Amino acid sequence: MQLTPYLKTWPHPRKPGRIILLATRRCALLELSEALWQRLVSGGELSEQEQATFTRLGVLVPDRETEKQALLSSFATHNAEKRRFEVTAALTLECNLACPYCFEEPFRGNLVMTDAVADLLITRLVERMATGLDILVDFYGGEALIRQDLLLRSASQLQQAAVQHGVTFTFNLFSNGVLLTRPTVEKLLPLGLQAVRTTLDGPPDIHNSQRPFVSGKGSFDAILANLVEVHEILPLSINGNYTRDNYRRFPELLDHLLAAGINPARLRNIIFSPVMPKADGTGLGDHGATCACTAEPWAIEAHLFLREEIIRRDFPTDKLGPSACMIEFEKDWVVNYNGDIYKCPVFMGDESMRVGNLADGVGDYHASHRLDIWKNDECLDCAYLPICFGGCRFFRKLQTGAIDGVDCRKAMLDASLERIVLQDLSITAPT
């Protein structure tokens, strides 16, 4: 047995003589003595229990080259074994908010999915049900609840078809929260609604400037009132979009949520992210307010600061785990309002990144999306590969104009991973 190449270690900051170890392929986190670590590094004798534990957690592997080969084939294996088909479906690109940073603004408008396109989408999903696949749909927009009629009809028909084929149908909802009333949620829950992801951009004054109604009126109070009403009956994920100038005020939002009666234990997670450039790349020159590179120092510091504040108030947030771009997964589609198919929501509307349509199916996107971009010696020898897999194709395309290399996360992870691990340990370990 050999040590996996996908391993990071740090001295324990509070316990001299002990180290923290992260096996990145499984994101197994361990605390062990320096003496035991030295036995691992030197190939010293381990007890049967120690060897079994380190093997189970991916710290020890049969040999390092076999481990690399397993990573090379990991998506092929996953795609062959996955028994759920997942679709992000844009019911409309209409929206009742007028966010100045809106990612979809370059192609947003009075663009809605027709009944014919919706029927074709349902047909394609029922075809997958007939092969024994479960179905998960993320209804998306614009604001998906503007087409609540279409959402209700589609979910109802898919639920009935799932029962007939002996599989499951569930759906999530991306919503700005304005129309997310309790009566609406109570109608959707019996049809398979399992969670909603919504957005609050910081405390009221920041949110209202970044996410006003089309009329210009602030939307914070209306959204928060709805979240208070529904969070006890529906798992919620709350997002927030910050800039370099305002991220330090976002903890005020967390205190607003607590004061309003939001129970942290009832939420799925809270995740704050930097404002990204719009789909056509505009916004890059906005005084660095937007983020087009994961290694930007201000963005790293903002992420660590806000993650700490979320954890400190006992709200759930994203945990460290294996990660990869959804384009790697064959059974994941993004379907635009017009039936065009993409492999990631950020590419929606970009004709060069369209992979097919509901009528004709999906073509070969191996070259256009550079599926093998991370299959090189530098990536395969990097301990971060299992939590990166070449990073984000969209970010790379923003920076160079083409997916001509990986969006390397090494600098960002070098600067942040230890603090993320220590934050995760603080959830369960005494300080």
User: What average pLDDT does this structure show over 161-178?
Assistant: 98
Checking if the pLDDT of 325 tops 90, the result is no
How far is Cα 194 from Cα 10, in angstroms, rounded to an integer?
A: 39
- 297 or 278, which is more confident: 297
Please state, in angstroms and as integers, the Cα–Cα distance from residue 243 to each residue in 207, 235, 290, 392, 405, following that order.
Answer: 12, 27, 6, 20, 27
Q: What is the pLDDT of residues 61-119, one digit of tens each?
A: 999 999 999 999 999 999 999 999 999 999 999 999 999 988 776 666 678 999 999 99
Confidence of residue 314 (pLDDT cuts 50, 70, 90): very high
Residue of 218, 221, 219 whose CA lies nearest to 256: 221
Helix/strand/coil for 225: helix
Mean pLDDT, range 188-198, rounded to an integer: 97
- Across the chain, mean pLDDT equals 92
349 vs 239, higher pLDDT: 239
Of the chain, the percentage scoring pLDDT greater than 70 comes to 93
Distance CA 179, CA 191 (A): 18
Kindly report, residue by residue over 277-287, the tens digit of the pLDDT. 665 555 544 43
Q: What is the pLDDT of residue 149?
A: 95
pLDDT score, position 324: 84
Type of residue at 27: C
**% helix / strand / coil in the chain, to the nearest 5?**
40, 20, 40
One-letter identity of residue 412: M
Calpha distance 124→342 (Å, rounded): 15
| Residue 266 pLDDT greater than 60, yes or no | yes
Dihedral in degrees, nearest 10, Cα atoms 49, 50, 53, 55: -110
The answer, yes or no, to whether residue 293 has pLDDT greater than 60, is: no
Candidates 94, 95, 97; CA nearest to 218 is 97
Q: What is the pLDDT of residues 328-376, one digit of tens each?
A: 999 999 999 999 999 999 898 889 999 999 999 999 999 999 999 999 9
Residue 288: its pLDDT value, please? 44
Residue 225 has pLDDT above 90, yes or no: yes
Evaluate whether 189 touches 175 at the Cβ level (below 8 Å).
Answer: no
The pLDDT tens digits of the residues spanning 365-413 come to 999 999 999 999 999 999 999 999 999 898 888 888 899 999 999 999 9
Q: For position 291, what pLDDT does the model report?
A: 47
**Banded pLDDT at 210 (limits 50, 70, 90):** very high
